[in-house]
Amino acid sequence: FKKNIQILKLYKPVNYICSKRKQDNRKIVYEILNSKYKNFIFAGRLDVNSEGLIILTNSSNVTRSLEDPRYKFKRTYNVRVFGHLNLAKLKEKSKGFVYKGTKYRAFNYKVISDIKKNTWIKLELYEGRKNEIRQIFKSINLNVNKLKRVSFGPFNLNNLNPGQVEI
């Protein structure tokens, strides 16, 4: 018996949790999905304050492959940070660094716009640790006030809107 692999792209809205079970009154992403996808699993989570592309599938092999840093699947984010951006510090951190005992790998970035103290940055990572992006910017005294994943490996958010699913 061979399982037909299915992959869903979901635009996770802010204030939804990437969890299979309700833990409190907060909404979970499975409330957005049709119940026939209740057994699908995540490839890469986003925290409750983040939005953007989530990949769900019925194949644990697909999720393992997407999440394993050895396969170098790029994750792209649009990040808005608040504070004074020191480009020299960001460039130095982009080579990889240790912060509060955690090693962060090298990443690519591009400043998209810089208006007053809000700066939009396109960030590309090849590993997705918990709160990694928030920690990267915290290490240079910037606060992330918007975080949106726009691509994960071969999958792109494209024109999906918050809460929309594409099969």
Catalytic residue ranges? 47
Q: Provide the 8-state DSSP code for 126.
A: S
Label the pairing between strands 16-17 and 27-28.
Answer: parallel
CA dist 4 and 29 (Å) reads 23
**C-alpha to C-alpha distance for 142 and 18, rounded to whole angstroms:** 25
Strand runs labelled E in the chain: 7-12, 16-17, 27-28, 41-43, 51-57, 75-82, 97-99, 102-104, 108-115, 118-125, 143-152, 155-156, 165-166
